[in-house]
Structure 1
Amino acid sequence: MGLLKTIFFIVLFYYGFKFLARLFAPYLMKKAAETIQKKAEQQFGGQQKQQQQKSSVKEGETIIDKKPGSQQESKKSVGEYVDFEEID
């Protein structure tokens, strides 16, 4: 008798879950689409803002985003360079 009860509850849970999923799936999909749309708008707005800042620079003007010594510092932290040759 216990086996039949277990099977009954499993089937009941399965069909109950399917029913609830059909009810709430459209709402969840709508919320997910809105969230993705907001993130995309924020990213696009940030890119657009950067482009406007770059376009405000006059022709012939130079902009440097990095410090001059940053490349030398990063090479020092990498380590020693070893050149390997193939042996036939």
Structure 2
Amino acid sequence: MGLLYFILFVVAFYYIFKFSMRLLLPFAMRKLTERMMKKAQQQGQGQYNYGGAGNPFGNGSPFGGASQQQSQRGTYTKEVKIKVDYVPTQESKRKGTATAGEFIDFEEVK
């Protein structure tokens, strides 16, 4: 009799847990994403200091800190001119059956 109660309890717990996760998980994920977005916005405004002694990255930010430091110091641009010696001619684009491949006639055998 005790084994039957245990099995019923486990099955009931499984379905209750499954149903509650369907209700609570979307809410928890929404809150998590809101918190992450808020933290990212605060980092973008420079409220966090990553340049401390315990920072393994050492350059201000763990995500692309070099470009962030350049933007803080002042940006510079370097113009690069590209010369193209050869431009291949574009082939006319074939449409329909011309590009579909090789067709093989067959007879269906029943």
Q: TM-score range by the shorter chain?
A: 0.5 to 0.7
Residue 6 of structure 2 corresponds to which residue in structure 1? 6
Residue 33 of structure 2 corresponds to which residue in structure 1? 33
Residue 21 of structure 1 corresponds to which residue in structure 2? 21
> TM-score, normalization: structure 2?
0.43
CA displacement 1:6-27 (0-9 Å, x = unmatched): 0100110010000000011111
Give the number of aligned pairs: 54
What root-mean-square deviation, in Å, do the aligned CA atoms of Structure 1 and Structure 2 show? 2.2
Structure 1 consecutive aligned stretches of length 4 or more whose deviation exceeds 4 Å: none
Question: SS where residue 36 of structure 1 aligns?
Answer: helix
CA distance in 1, matches of 2:7, 2:44: 52
Residue 83 of structure 2 corresponds to which residue in structure 1? none
Gaps of 5+ in 2: 47-60, 62-67, 75-110
CA displacement 1:48-83 (0-9 Å, x = unmatched): 7xx45x34xxxxxxxxxxxxxxxxxxxxxxxxxxxx
The share of aligned pairs that are identical, in percent, is 52
Alignment of 1:45-84 (within 5 A): 45-46=45-46, 51-52=71-72, 54-55=73-74
Displacement of 1:41 in angstroms is 0.6
Q: Which has the higher contact order (CA 8 A, sep 6+)?
A: 2
Displacement of 1:44 in angstroms is 1.1
Going by fraction, where is helix more abundant, 1 or 2? 1
Displacement of 1:2 in angstroms is 0.3
CA distance in 2, matches of 1:25, 1:2: 33
CA distance in 2, matches of 1:44, 1:7: 53
